[in-house]
Amino acid sequence: MTTADVGAPAPRNPEAAAPRQAPADRPAVVGALISLFVLAIGVTIGLNPEGVVVSRDPGYAPMPVPLLIVPALLAIALTLLLPRGRGDAEVGVRRPRAVRAEAALLVLLACGFPLLVPLLPTDEDYVLAKAVMFLLVPMVLLALSARRRGPSIEIGRPEVRGWVIVLPALVLGVLSTLGPFSSGGPSAWPPLALLLIAATATAITAGVGEELLYRRLLQTRLEALVGSGTGLLLAAILFGLMHVPSHGDGSLWASTAQALALQGTTGIALGLMWRRWRRLWVCILAHLLLNGFGVLLHLVGLLV
């Protein structure tokens, strides 16, 4: 089973009529990218032997880096062990030039956002900028391109049981909130109305917006251009770098290493779920649990 990108009419030109297979990965490039993540983890551990604080909210205590990355590593292992399903998850290229142009646009958005964040005066501006750059701009531009000339890529979608593929999402989201691998929680919660507004905004812009941009749109096109493993890792790097302004509190290079070690590793887990099954809702579920499971437990606690 295959799906076209950003729903569109049937192709209208010869270039779009016969999808070509994405290129194979170059092992040396994949190895170099994996080494970058390993280096980032090692540097972060070396700079923070007592652990790192994952949030600027009050109440979070330092946690050892090896413990913090365990949920992502377990989700990666579980994703690889679970059935792939029937059919392939390959990317077919219908319009190569369009794929290159779209990938350049998406990389520009992914790189531009963390550069823009330090210039934003309020949290409301941060949420608005993310909504515009992660949801509105890419969807409108890609939809217009697909409407004119047909979709630029075709994505294979294996047939697999939903209850199977939800397990890595649960492992990643729940273990990051509860138990020995938890990053902790705030010492005080905001008023209920403000909490609900903030949680809803985060769910839309991070849970949906980030997964749409970094997995569904960007990773898929990078896979089409440079290979599935390389595209996955490059998207995870950009996903990690997006968190530098909001999570790092040291020097730029130390904050970058920390973002790649923690959020970048999480990006690999999310990217692998997308690459293996091509179900964006699984990635969104995992992301929603990562950001909101603690909030959900707090709200349940208020009711009991």
Q: Write out pLDDT tens, residues 234-259.
A: 999 999 999 998 776 778 899 999 99
Q: Is residue 15 part of a domain?
A: no
- In this structure, the strands spanning 153-156 and 91-93 are antiparallel
- Give the pLDDT confidence score for residue 187 in this predicted structure: 79
3-state DSSP assignment of residue 46: helix
Q: Is residue 84 part of a domain?
A: yes
- Residue 93 forms beta bridges with which residues? 20, 153
- Give the pLDDT confidence score for residue 86 in this predicted structure: 93
Q: Is residue 121 part of a domain?
A: yes
3-state DSSP assignment of residue 50: coil
- Give the pLDDT confidence score for residue 98 in this predicted structure: 94
Q: Is residue 14 part of a domain?
A: no
Q: Rounded distance, CA 70 to CA 74, Å?
A: 6
Q: Is residue 188 part of a domain?
A: yes
Nearest residue to 182 (alpha-carbon basis) of 49, 55, 45, 43: 55
Nearest residue to 244 (alpha-carbon basis) of 152, 144, 117: 117
Q: Rounded distance, CA 294 to CA 184, Å?
A: 9
What's the mean pLDDT when you consider all of the chain?
A: 91
Which tens digit of pLDDT belongs to each residue from 197-239?
999 999 999 999 999 999 999 999 999 999 999 999 999 999 9
Calculate the CA 191 to chain-centre distance. 29
3-state DSSP assignment of residue 86: strand
Which tens digit of pLDDT belongs to each residue from 255-271?
999 999 999 999 999 99
| DSSP E strand boundaries for the chain | 2-4, 20-21, 91-93, 153-156
Nearest residue to 33 (alpha-carbon basis) of 276, 277, 283, 271: 271
78: domain range?
2-8+24-299
Which tens digit of pLDDT belongs to each residue from 145-197?
888 888 999 999 999 988 889 999 999 999 999 888 987 778 788 899 999 99
Mapped to the 3 state alphabet, what secondary structure does 101-167 carry? HHHHHHHHHHHHHHHHHHHCCCHHHHHHHHHHHHHHHHHHHHHHHHHHHCCCEEEECCECCHHHHHH
Q: Rounded distance, CA 225 to CA 162, Å?
A: 29
- Residue 153 forms beta bridges with which residues? 93
Q: Is residue 76 part of a domain?
A: yes
Percent of the chain clearing pLDDT 90 (strictly above): 74
- Give the pLDDT confidence score for residue 246 in this predicted structure: 79
How far is the first Cα of the chain from the last one, in angstroms, to the nearest whole number? 45
Q: Is residue 304 part of a domain?
A: no
Nearest residue to 145 (alpha-carbon basis) of 208, 221, 206: 221
Q: Rounded distance, CA 104 to CA 207, Å?
A: 23
- Give the pLDDT confidence score for residue 1 in this predicted structure: 66
Q: Is residue 19 part of a domain?
A: no
Tally the domains of the chain.
1
**Residue 143 identity:** A
**Residue 295 identity:** V
Is the pLDDT higher at 3 or at 28?
28
Q: Rounded distance, CA 33 to CA 237, Å?
A: 9
